[in-house]
Every structure is written in structure tokens, then in C-alpha cells.
Structure 1
């Protein structure tokens, strides 16, 4: 059922749900303080909850307790400092402290792709749940927030049954996250929906109480936050289904870019025209280098793997092609670079030896420092493997990029990255790059050639400044 809180339906009888700790509001913990857990912990303290974050990484916990956010996310630093000072928020490496403190424990650990297969690695989930269950001494609700294969919640219930005393009444629920890097603070404080998979009225009431701060904020801003209350399997499937749909939409417009290149069309005009159709919409119809990051690539692969295990693999065969289209965009940038430079392409690919290429962008999207499965960094590495001398700059991702691809040359700014370059490639659509002056940059380069891997530049303006311009799916 869908319950549109706070305005159109009676609220659940919250008074009947007393947090086991005896606190006026549930005390919440977040196990795992990576991008997901740290963001949620800090934002929930901002909503007025008493919050304890947990991680096995002592250095990360020390940073957070010192008021330093280990990731780049706009607005998060200020919220962390404010809520540490207010005493609502702290971080620990002590699981016994977490078990004693919390009423609702959110599991926020990573679920990366397995090294030997397409499926998700659930070892971090297992370690967190097992360790917590062994330390619990009173009733609590364990809520999965990590993106997992369908069926994981039932497995977590079995782990809890095995490791926690049965008389405590520990329950499990699932509530997926829908954070967008670069917009995550608002996604926690002002979500477009909340989904919970529960098996009891007590779990439902506890989760409502754990989200009441969100509903209260919505009421003050005269907004609604729909709350979908459903079963475990559906709650688990919502996140991967949403990611699969998004990935498909992105790869669809990139497939159209390939057709436009062959036919002489312009995919930016095509996308604009198609996007006016209200059944389709224009969001995520920007053709370019494709998607990356910590979620979409590994999630669509894990979804396919789980569907195969369930005997429904045929239903998701299209996701394999979605993945292939996405990966093909990376090699397309290398080919465009070779074409602009007049380089031959042999059986091993283009030969770019003796050329200097300035790469603008390393993160998978702007407003983050995340380079996990970043198309920009992958293309920079491909250019390097083709023989080019690659000089790269990114406003936030330099340290993380250097750790992943140390073979590249990293520069302190845009001017240094493009200096004496035979070609520049714009691969992440940071505002600094979109708004760069093509005339000024033209005075720094050896050759005025640009590959716009995100279709984010004003092509007419760059052409007017004397640049040979190549976009993705554009004539």
C-alpha cells in the first residue's frame, strides 16, 4: 500500500510504539560510514535525532569525530560540525556501544560487485549484522539500507535468528536509499519517497517514528512525502529496478547518438524533441560518455545475476546490452580523439603516441570526488594506453584519481592541464569546464581540437573561437 504522509491519511498510532531505549524518539545508528552511512547519520542528526555512526575504519571515525567529512558532498561539512557541537551526533568503532545505544539500526555498508562474478558481495552486510546481533541485549529493529539482491532481507532474518537471543524480539525491515551524489543532503532531508518493507505493525510504527523528522520538515514546507509500505522482496527490488530503468534511459539516448553519428543527425536536437513527450520526459536524456559511479554499473550487473539465480534471467537480458552500450561510449571518445588528430586506427586500436592530451574531469559526475567506475578516468587511461601523454585536472577528484590511475599526469588547474595540448577532452561536466573561455584556452594549447564527451559545451562558441569540435552523436 502507498501512504502519502503527512497530509492525506491518518498517521499510524505512534504513541503506541515506544522506543525500547525509553527515549522520546528512536535513537538511530548507521553501520558503515562511507558515502551512504555518513550522509544519513549527519542528516538525521540535523533532523533532531540522537545518532551514532559506526565503522571498523578507525581513521575514518576519528576524522568524523573531528568534524571532517571523508567525502566531498555539498553542504555536509557544515551539518557535521553543527550536529557534533549540538551533541546529537557521534561516531564509534565499538559495536557494543552501538547495540546499547540504538533502537533502529540502519545497515549502510557497501555491496560491491564480486571479484569473480557479476553478483553482489554481501560479506560486509553479513559481518555488520552478525556482529550487531551478537551484541544486542534488548529489542531493536535492524533495517537494511544497502542495495542488495532480492532475498537478502530474509537471509538477514536468519542471521539475526542465529546470532541474537530469541527472547529479545529483534526484527528486520528493509528501507532502500535513493541518494544522488552531489544532491545527497537534500535527498535525505527532502526525499521524493520513502519505501519500507516490514512484517509487523511494530516495525512499521518504529520506521514511521524513525522518519517522523522527515515528515515534520515536509509539513513545515507544505510538501508531501509518499511512504510506500510493502513486503521485503518489493522493497529490495525498488532500488535495483529504479537504477536499471535509469541506466536503460541513459544507454538508450547513447544508442541514438550512435545512430545519429552514422546518419548525420544531432542527438541533442533529437533528445530535446523526444523529451517534450510527457510519457518520456527530458531528464537523463543527455547523450554523452555514459554512466558510472558506485551504483548503476554494479547494480545492473548484480540484478542480472540474481534474476538468473531466480530463473528469470530472460526478463533482464536487455540489461546486458545496456551495459555494453555504456562501455562502448568510452572507446568512442578515443576514436574521436584519433580522428581529430588524424591518427590511424589499427587492429590494436588508435595509435596516439607523440601526442599530448589535456583531460578535464576525473569523477563520474560533477559535485563529487567519487571516481569509482568513472567513465572520465577510464577514458583518460585508455588514451594513455594508446600512447598519448595525458595531463588531467578535476576540481575535487584528484587525490582519489591519482590512487586509481597513478600512470597519468595530474595538474593543479585547467590551464596547466591544457597547456601545449594537441587535443583536449572534456569528460566531466563541471561548471568550471562548461563555462571555460575557449578563446583564452586557445592561446594555451598547441592545437585547437576538443572532444566534448558530455555535450556540455557551447559548440558554436567554441567553433567561433577556432576550435575543431567533436561532440557525442553530433555532426
Structure 2
């Protein structure tokens, strides 16, 4: 009999996973405790922007004309427990307020609510990013609460989604990691992921702690690589070097690789910043804090780049105060092809300049609504042209394709001063300078 799957938590990770599991042919029931979110999903609408996700969802949600009907949503824990053979935990694990540590309250609440209703054999699979050691504790909690007792197993299966590519990353993962305690859990997960395994996705079987460490280790490595090239950008600026050419030369070394070597205003989003901080906090609890002290500098370099962009903008408007100066900011999301503004470097820079007296106008192709909720006092424009109208300086802070394709001449016709600061090293300096712009990018020569 075919496995039935539940997905607990239908945010960015959960909604994507639920739709992908339906695409792979499973009957899926998504559960959330937020009525508005459940109503949206039942209509085939997603509460965030992710390329291809809404189309995938609408292909499978029950009640939508032409859909397979394999995907439903509920708020009823008993219904979910009775429905599913495999229960994926996909809830959020944010950073605790005022601390580096991970807030496990959503995971713990989901596990407790589900476990109490598990009356038959089932596999609970954690996908949320958690501190190492959490799976052992959760397994004990399930054994304590589940009426089915030892017939309910736990596995840990970390997610590796990239915002903007989440659908493809779920359907065609570059690796599948499962932390298990027994052969049955492994067998079930091989059945769940049979299609991508057949397509060649590596299937890595390990213990609980290693599976938990894979995601935080991967994010820490990527964060380190980004902060490394940003540190080199600081050296290039001091020495008169060009960090873009430096990164190109480094990237040809296949031991290093070119990815994540673009210097700029640094990383943000809902994963990298909070994950490296939680990793440091957990290492301290385990008595291994010295092993991760380098991550403090990684975090520090990253945050320093935001302040550096503010200073570059101050220099560009005369070196004094931002009072009375009009600043255009192109980009609000932490990366392109997303509407996510969580810990966004672009929005942080815009907010800092605004708080220092600048008249800031922001434009982003997808992140405007979320940006307004975070920084309602900033100015917002409907187009890039409207954002730069009358500006004393233009800041390019999120590398959307739309911004790379802007016409420097057309923009120059409406801006106050043709001064552009590229905070992502993604624009062509010669193209903009040829149109009469003063162009400066982080870690690059001024002319």
C-alpha cells in the first residue's frame, strides 16, 4: 500500500515539501495552526514568493479544477496523525530574542501535539534546522507521549533548499541525508525519495547527531566563504586591488570554486545568520566553543559590510550628513527571486540611512509588501525609475536580473545625480560609466 505523507508546518519549507511530495505521487496532508495560511493553501495560493511553487501547488490541491487532488490541508492534529504513515516536521526554528541560541518552541509544540495522537506505526521525520542533540531528546519525547509507543520511529532529514530554487531542490536534490536508528526508517525514506534516488541523487545514511550537523555545517561553510571574499574586498580597497578579478582568479582553483565568491554587502535571510549563531551557542553548551570562535569573525565581517555601504553612500552625497539628501535603494530582499526580507542587508542599509536623516526610496520587484511591514517609514516606489527620480545617489543592493538590465541613459535622465554604488558587484561598470555615471563597487578601483 502506498505511503501517505503529512507535512507539519506549511511555511516556506513545508509548503514546498508538501507540493513536491504530491508531485512525486504521494497523497499528502499539510497541517498548520494558522487558519489564514490554511485557507490560502486550500485555494492554491502560497503565502510567499517562490518561483514555480504556486503552479506546483495548484497542480495537486484538492478542489482545484484540473488538479490531481493528492494534496489537502487541515488544522486537525488527530486527522493528520490518523492519515499519515510518514510525518515531516517542517516548522520554523528562529533565533531566540536577545540570544544566539535557537528557539525550539515551535518544534517542541508540533512534536507534542502530533505524538499524542499517534496510535499506529508511523515514522516522524524532522526537517527543521535544529541544534545537534535535539533528535535524541525528541525521540524520547515521542516514546513518552505516543500511544503506539515503540512503533513510532524518528528520523532526521535536513533540508538544503535555496530560496529561488526550492522546487527544483526538493524534486531533484543534490543529496539526501537521513539520520536513522534502524533499518525500517531507512527503508521508508528510500521509498519516499525513490524517484530522486533513481535519478542519481546521493542518499547518505548516518546517525542523528551527524544528520543534524550537516545543515549547520554547510551554512557555516558558505557564510565563511562569503565573509572571506568580503574580507578580501576590504584589503583590496586598502591596497588598490580589484576583488572581482581576485575572485575570478581564485575561482579557477577547483579546490576553492567560484560560487559564493562575489563580494558585496554580505549575506542575510532566515537561515545563514541565525544558523551560524545557533551553532556557536550550541557548541558552547557542548564545551566545544573554541572550535567555532572563527564564526564570530565571520558574523562580524558580514555585519561590517552593511555599515561600510552606509559610509560609501555618505561619501557619495558629500561626506557629511544625510539630512536633505535623496537616496534611491534598488532591492529590499536578501537575495533575488524571493520576497524574503528577513535580516536583509539591503533593507538594513536603507533603514540605517533613513534613521540618519536620509530621504530613502526603495524599489524591489517582489519584496515591497514585506519591506513595508518591516520598515513602514521608508519611501517606496512602483518602479526603479520612480525610485531614482531626483536621487542624489543610487544604491544597488539586491542583484535582481531586472536591475542588471536597466538602461543607464534612461535612469540618468530622471535621477538628480548620476552616482551609483553597486553593493553586489553585479553591474557592468563600463556600461554605466559610458552613460556618464560615477560608478563605485565594493572592493574595486574607483575608476
Q: Does the 8 A contact of 1:357 with 1:422 survive in 2?
A: yes
Map 1:205-220 to 2 at 5 A: 205-216=187-198, 218=199
Q: Quick one: distance in 2 between partners of 1:199 and 1:60?
A: 34
Query: Partner of 1:146 in structure 2?
Result: 128
Query: Partner of 1:293 in structure 2?
Result: 269
Cα deviation, residue 72, structure 1:
0.6
Which whole-Å deviations, capped at 9, do the CAs of 1:62-104 have from their partners, x for residues lacking one? Answer: 0000011111111111111111121110111111110011011
Cα deviation, residue 25, structure 1:
2.2
Q: Quick one: distance in 2 between partners of 1:336 and 1:115?
A: 31
* Count of paired positions: 440
Q: Does the 8 A contact of 2:31 with 2:74 survive in 1?
A: yes
Cα deviation, residue 168, structure 1:
5.5
Map 1:216-295 to 2 at 5 A: 216=198, 218=199, 224-295=200-271
Q: TM-score w.r.t. structure 1 length?
A: 0.92
| Structure 1 segments (4+ residues) deviating >3 Å | none
Aligned partner of 1:98 among 72, 77, 80: 80
Q: Does the 8 A contact of 1:25 with 1:210 survive in 2?
A: no
Q: Does the 8 A contact of 1:149 with 1:303 survive in 2?
A: yes
Q: Which has the higher contact order (CA 8 A, sep 6+)?
A: 1
| Aligned-partner SS, 2:59 | helix
Q: Does the 8 A contact of 1:25 with 1:209 survive in 2?
A: no
Q: Are residues 1:163 and 2:145 paired?
A: yes
Query: Partner of 1:123 in structure 2?
Result: 105
| Aligned-partner SS, 2:311 | helix
Q: Quick one: distance in 2 between partners of 1:162 and 1:119?
A: 26
Query: Partner of 2:185 in structure 1?
Result: 203
Cα deviation, residue 352, structure 1:
0.7
Query: Partner of 2:33 in structure 1?
Result: 56
Cα deviation, residue 301, structure 1:
0.1
Cα deviation, residue 116, structure 1:
2.8
Cα deviation, residue 339, structure 1:
1.2
Query: Partner of 2:64 in structure 1?
Result: none
Q: Quick one: distance in 2 between partners of 1:214 and 1:100?
A: 27
Query: Partner of 1:3 in structure 2?
Result: none
Query: Partner of 2:360 in structure 1?
Result: 390
Q: Does the 8 A contact of 1:48 with 1:213 survive in 2?
A: no
Q: Does the 8 A contact of 2:26 with 2:70 survive in 1?
A: yes
Q: Quick one: distance in 1 between partners of 2:11 and 2:417?
A: 42
Q: Quick one: distance in 1 between partners of 2:3 and 2:131?
A: 28
Cα deviation, residue 43, structure 1:
1.0
Cα deviation, residue 210, structure 1:
1.3
Give the superposed CA RMSD.
0.8
Map 1:39-78 to 2 at 5 A: 39-78=16-55
Q: Which 5+ residue runs of structure 2 have no aligned equivalent?
A: 62-66
Q: Quick one: distance in 2 between partners of 1:466 and 1:312?
A: 54
Which whole-Å deviations, capped at 9, do the CAs of 1:303-349 have from their partners, x for residues lacking one? Answer: 000000000000000000000000001011111111111123xxxxx
Map 1:394-433 to 2 at 5 A: 394-433=364-403
| Aligned-partner SS, 1:86 | coil
Query: Partner of 2:415 in structure 1?
Result: 445
Q: Does the 8 A contact of 1:137 with 1:168 survive in 2?
A: no
| Aligned-partner SS, 1:80 | helix
| Aligned-partner SS, 2:336 | coil
Q: Quick one: distance in 2 between partners of 1:341 and 1:423?
A: 7
Q: TM-score w.r.t. structure 2 length?
A: 0.97
Q: Quick one: distance in 2 between partners of 1:166 and 1:412?
A: 55
Cα deviation, residue 164, structure 1:
1.0
Query: Partner of 1:303 in structure 2?
Result: 279
